[in-house]
Amino acid sequence: MSRWVTPITDRTLADIQNRTVKAFLNVSDWVRIHGNTQQVQALIRILSGFEVSITSLSTPTVTHFPTAGEINSMIADIDRLREAACLPPALGVVTLKHDYQPGLGAAAPDYEDVNAWEQDLLLIRALFARAAESLIYCGAAGAGQPRFWQNRWRRPAYIEPDAGAIRTPRTGSAVSGSGLTRQNGWRKYA
Amino acid sequence: MAKTSTRVSFGLYALELKQDSSPVTATPLQPFSKVQDLRTDNASSRPYASFEPDFWLLDGGYKFLPADPVSVHVGLMSLEMSDAAGVFADPPVLTVAFQQVHTADGLTLRFSNYTGDYASSVAVAYYDAAEALIREDTYAVGSTEFSTGQEVANIKKIVITFQTTNRPYRYLRLAGIDYGELISFEGTSIKAAAVIEETDPLSAELRVNALDLTIFSQDAQFSIINPEGHYAALQERQPLAVYEVVDNQSVYIGTFYLDEWENQSDTVSLFHAVDLVGVLDRQPYRGGIWLGAGIALEDLLEVVLGSIYVPYELDAALVGTVITGWLPAGSVREALQQLAFAVGASVSCARSGSIKIYKTKVAADEPDEVTITRSQMGQGSPLALRSQVTGVEVTAHNYVAGTEDVELYDDTLAAGTHEIVFSEPAHSLSATGATISESGANYAVLEVAAPGAVVLSGKRYIDTTSVTRITTADLTAGVRPNVLKITDAYLVSNTNVAAVAGRVYAYFQQRYRQRMRLFAPAAEVGQVVVVDTLYSKQIRGLIEKMSIDLAGGFVAEVEVVGVQNE
């Protein structure tokens, strides 16, 4: 799996009119978008355990004529990640069109569409790590289970280490119900 | 402030050479490429997306290739790509053979207009009937339209070798080839150039875009009374390609075909040209009738437009729409209007070399494509209220084959071939005094061996009509009823009348007409826009008309019809 590459989300009409480097969709853009999709898929799997299926797409070459089906698959992958991330639209993630058709009379993606694909990936990656803190890990939930019972699997929020404090507890992942003595096992002293 | 100028290219092409030509190539081509497109001239101006470096411009105009190559018309497209320097390792070669020996004023090559790709170095060799080389030249090409401008006589074969491309890593894209001279006017040679682009979203009428051009030329070839001059060539359907150059970027305005020519003085000529829809007005179509299961729209368009090699683009949303009913004999333009109205399509040639047929947009329900702010408009942008339409009545026509014999024609005819055109559709034709060599629902071709009385008989189709009404409920007192009636849409039947009536009614409920002046507008006719208007409000509407002064700075008078934006 390739590394995360900073997406391009600021293409403008001026880019198109002036034919800047951002105005075109090249193989490198495809590789970045598909690679970032795999990155976000892995992030969601690690943080939540959700396995979002994404299409296995081969990397095109410069001789390739992309089909509507290939592009639709790539966008649909991003859209499934958006759904799995459960991020509210108010945060800026948008539903993506992935029903492009072939032919001269059919609609085709423009720079705003491609901005939206990459913006969704960027937002999911940035926000899902924080959103995951609010997830309740409950194994198999049972009807009538009290809230505190489900909290056994709650994962505590990650706290940035305090640079100044010396006796800051560092607990890795805290164990529900464990006493202070046990937590002190990870306490770090200067 | 952007700098603008206009460029107009005249094609003075010898159509008889094209009709006699047989372009072939031994060079491997893309599987969807058809070299015959060069002869039929139906290569599309729109590109298909590919991953050639810096090729797929994200303007929404690069489309996806259909799986079925039959419907693809790109002209000649090589399988080999040029290298990093734009050089072909195995240069594509096109051979054009002729049945007869010809003289050509020049050779014009048209490459990919939309993408700006062309072969930058081209070698052309002419051969005579004895296969002897007449002459061979290598040209440096500088634009997507190139003319050798070199008269060559006794041509029996032309061999064109495309050596390099203007950009690295490109397929060769040759969209057209013409035998004749290409003359370009630009700068101060163009005294005035104005284009009117229009579309009717409902296709109640098929509007024709027009170009009015005034050029200054001291060339005697542009004398209207010179029998050897350009006028003789331009009388036929010769294309005038129009471009506006904005800040050194060439914007393709469209291709027009000469309609009228007037010499105002020895040096000033006026041209009036129309777009492809205007050309179709002179193209006859015999019509037909489709009952029962009907016919798919794409199949009928292939008959109406494809058979006469008119390039068109059909909206994917309309593919599969079934047509039933009657198309009267008339022009292709009339037939296309009936088709578009019945299926809910708009038709436009604006900014395209082909006819675009796309789903009707009722602006109130469509997402906007462009926003036009007050700062982009010139002074004086009046907002008008269109008269209220309080209802629509659409007549549906349902045809069944009648059984009663009727006389369709009874007269004396001279010996020879005669075409009889019916005012109403008929079937089961028979004739006395002549033989029917060809017939359809609207016509019969009679072969008369000896002069005399000819009687053509047949059976009529019976048209049962029904009317669907939609009226505005709760009209306030004082509002005068204004009901729009549509009676002669013969492809509207019981199956689609409700949709047609709903569409017409919805369109006429858009009562605002916003006019404005824009400079070098990015918006085009047929697009849904949101426009700043009076009282700090906005209008969401569709651009129905643009009158563009190309020579006067690319200034457009724009008309938008729509509703107040919520």
**pLDDT for B33-56, tens place per residue?**
999 888 877 788 789 999 999 999
pLDDT value of position B184: 79
Is B48 within 8 Å of chain A by CB?
yes
Residue in chain A closest to B356 (alpha carbons) equals A105
Judged against a pLDDT cut of 90, whether residue B521 lies above it is answered with no
Share of residues in chain A with pLDDT > 90 (%): 46
For residue B58, list chain A residues with Cβ-Cβ distance below 8 A: 11, 16, 23-25, 109-111, 113-114
- Amino acid at position B272, single letter: H
Is B31 within 8 Å of chain A by CB?
no
* Cross-strand partners of B124: B137, B160
Identify the CA nearest to B14 among candidates B103, B147, B82: B103
Over residues A160-169, the mean pLDDT reads 52
**Hey, are the CB atoms on A26 and B51 less than 8 Å from each other?**
yes
More confident call, B147 vs B250 = B147
Judged against a pLDDT cut of 90, whether residue B215 lies above it is answered with no
| b (16+ CB within 10 A) / e for A132-161 | beebeeeeeeeeeeeeeeeeeebeeeeeee
B165: its two tokens: 């491309």
Judged against a pLDDT cut of 70, whether residue A155 lies above it is answered with no
**Hey, are the CB atoms on B249 and A18 less than 8 Å from each other?**
yes
**Hey, are the CB atoms on A16 and B57 less than 8 Å from each other?**
yes
Is A136 within 8 Å of chain B by CB?
no
Judged against a pLDDT cut of 90, whether residue B159 lies above it is answered with yes
Over residues A46-53, the mean pLDDT reads 86
Is A58 within 8 Å of chain B by CB?
no
Long-range contacts of B260-267 (CB under 8 A, 24+ apart): B261/B224, B261/B231, B261/B234, B262/B224, B263/B222, B263/B223, B263/B224, B263/B225, B264/B214, B266/B218, B266/B223, B267/B216, B267/B217, B267/B218
Q: Is 0.90 surpassed by the pTM of this model?
A: no
pLDDT value of position B41: 76
pLDDT value of position A143: 66
Over residues B472-492, the mean pLDDT reads 88
Apex B496 CA angle, B490 and B501, nearest 5: 85
Judged against a pLDDT cut of 90, whether residue A134 lies above it is answered with no
Distance in Å, alpha carbon of B565 to nearest chain A alpha carbon:
22
Q: Within 13 A of B128's CA, how many CA atoms are on the CB side?
A: 8
Non-local CB neighbours of B235 within 8 Å, separated by 6+ positions: B258
Q: What pLDDT digit, counting tens, does each position of A72-100 carry?
A: 999 999 999 999 988 888 888 999 999 99
Average pLDDT score over chain B: 89
- pLDDT range class, residue B100, cuts 50, 70, 90: confident
pLDDT value of position B360: 94
pLDDT value of position B225: 63
Judged against a pLDDT cut of 80, whether residue B311 lies above it is answered with yes
Judged against a pLDDT cut of 60, whether residue A171 lies above it is answered with no
- pLDDT range class, residue A188, cuts 50, 70, 90: low
Is A21 within 8 Å of chain B by CB?
yes
Residue in chain A closest to B371 (alpha carbons) equals A13
Over residues B309-325, the mean pLDDT reads 89
pLDDT value of position A190: 43
Is B49 within 8 Å of chain A by CB?
yes
More confident call, A155 vs B291 = B291
Is B261 within 8 Å of chain A by CB?
no
pLDDT value of position B275: 92
> What was the ipTM of the complex prediction?
0.77
Is B54 within 8 Å of chain A by CB?
yes
Is A57 within 8 Å of chain B by CB?
no
Q: What pLDDT digit, counting tens, does each position of A8-32 carry?
A: 999 998 899 889 999 999 999 999 9
Distance from C-alpha of B206 to C-alpha of B341, rounded to nearest angstrom: 9
Distance from C-alpha of B310 to C-alpha of B303, rounded to nearest angstrom: 11
Residue in chain A closest to B248 (alpha carbons) equals A18
Judged against a pLDDT cut of 80, whether residue A131 lies above it is answered with no
Distance from C-alpha of B390 to C-alpha of A135, rounded to nearest angstrom: 56
Distance in Å, alpha carbon of A106 to nearest chain B alpha carbon:
5
Q: What pLDDT digit, counting tens, does each position of B428-465 carry?
A: 999 999 999 999 999 999 999 999 999 999 999 999 99
- pLDDT range class, residue B535, cuts 50, 70, 90: confident
Distance in Å, alpha carbon of B403 to nearest chain A alpha carbon:
42
Distance from C-alpha of B310 to C-alpha of B316, rounded to nearest angstrom: 18
Distance in Å, alpha carbon of B408 to nearest chain A alpha carbon:
42
**Hey, are the CB atoms on A104 and B314 less than 8 Å from each other?**
yes
pLDDT value of position B502: 95
pLDDT value of position A125: 92
Distance in Å, alpha carbon of B80 to nearest chain A alpha carbon:
9
Judged against a pLDDT cut of 50, whether residue B103 lies above it is answered with yes
CB B460, CB B406: distance < 8 Å: yes
